[in-house]
């Protein structure tokens, strides 16, 4: 089967592969365009496997809230140039739409599209964190997305009860910038607390504090540790004289999720 320059051009537009690669693929497949697409895909995937050891700490964090359902998807790549590209951002949006409507596992439906994206953009591209929160009836879902360089890099969802939409949004904004790791101190793993306590004890003794004062000093510093990592104990971003727990009053934060691009 023969092929024309128009076939080469069409194959290039369909796959994003280079002109010479398209021509060689058509030669190897006797001009069969569908077979050439598959061949280029196979070669492209083989090439992307060689990029597996590369760092891919750039990307997009897409968020969608539809009624009481919120979803966040992190799509990772190697460079901010690719992360800002229309095709890459469109894929992140398609993925978050899918998660919102069908659930986290539905991302598997776009495996082919992700593989094609690797070929076209020639970077290590992979799906990162994915989350979906469906708020219970009567609860409020707050959200926030921080945009940098024209793309989402930090997204938050927070489910609250007894709260207004405005308060839930304000708490989401706080989470975005304060980056708590846990809701309350009871959620912090015991092993993490023990490790921090041991470190603080060493620091305190190295400072030459009296031995009998060490336990009290360590506990005070441990409270500071909880204020750094536990949402309810953090100083509120808009008024650091109050904790988040004080700001929300009788309202309750049930859960939250934050996904970022570092």
Mean pLDDT of the chain: 92
Highest mean predicted confidence (pLDDT) among 21-25, 49-53, 204-208: 204-208
φ and ψ of 126, to 5 deg: -155, 155
Q: In the predicted model, what is the mean pLDDT of residues 130-150? A: 96
49 vs 235, higher pLDDT: 235
Same-domain status, 21 and 93 = no
Pair of tokens at residue 232:
């309810």
Domain count of the chain?
Answer: 3
Same-domain status, 112 and 170 = yes
pLDDT of residue 71: 98
Q: Does 12 have pLDDT greater than 90?
A: no
Beta strands in the chain (DSSP E): 58-66, 69-77, 126-134, 140-148, 151-161, 235-236, 239-243, 252-260
**Is the Cα torsion angle 45, 47, 52, 57 positive or negative in sign?**
negative
Question: Which CATH number goes with the domain that contains 201?
Answer: 1.10.286
Same-domain status, 255 and 139 = yes
Same-domain status, 108 and 193 = no
CB 48 within 8 A of CB 56: no
In this predicted structure, which of 11-15, 158-162, 165-169 has the lowest mean pLDDT? 11-15
Q: Does 176 have pLDDT greater than 90?
A: yes
Same-domain status, 102 and 19 = no
How much is the pTM? 0.81
Please tell me the distance from the alpha carbon of residue 36 to that of residue 44, in angstroms, as a whole number: 12
pLDDT of residue 219: 94
Same-domain status, 135 and 83 = yes
Residue 34 structural domain? 5-49
Q: Does 45 have pLDDT greater than 60?
A: no
């Amino acid at each position: 089967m023969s092929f024309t320059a128009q076939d080469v051009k069409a194959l290039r537009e369909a796959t994003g592969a280079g002109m010479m690669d398209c021509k060689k693929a058509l030669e190897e497949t006797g001009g069969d365009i569908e077979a050439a697409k598959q061949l280029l895909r196979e070669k492209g995937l083989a090439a992307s496997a060689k990029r597996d050891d590369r760092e891919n700490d750039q990307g997009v964090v897409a968020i969608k809230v539809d009624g009481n359902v919120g979803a966040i998807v992190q799509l990772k790549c190697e460079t901010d140039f690719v992360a800002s590209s229309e095709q890459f951002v469109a894929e992140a949006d398609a993925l978050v739409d899918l998660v919102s409507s069908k659930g986290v596992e539905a991302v598997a439906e776009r495996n082919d599209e992700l593989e094609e994206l690797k070929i076209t953009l020639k970077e290590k591209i992979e799906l990162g964190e994915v989350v979906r929160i469906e708020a219970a009836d009567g609860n409020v879902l707050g959200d926030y997305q921080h945009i940098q360089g024209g793309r989402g890099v930090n997204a938050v969802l927070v489910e609250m009860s007894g709260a207004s939409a405005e308060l839930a949004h304000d708490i989401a904004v706080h989470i975005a910038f304060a980056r708590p790791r846990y809701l309350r101190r009871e959620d912090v793993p015991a092993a993490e607390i023990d490790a921090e306590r041991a470190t603080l004890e060493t620091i305190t003794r190295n400072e030459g504090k009296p031995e009998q004062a060490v336990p009290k000093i360590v506990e005070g510093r441990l409270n500071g540790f909880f204020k750094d990592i536990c949402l309810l104990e953090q100083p509120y971003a808009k008024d650091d004289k109050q904790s988040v727990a004080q700001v929300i009053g009788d309202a309750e934060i049930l859960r939250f999720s934050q996904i970022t691009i570092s």
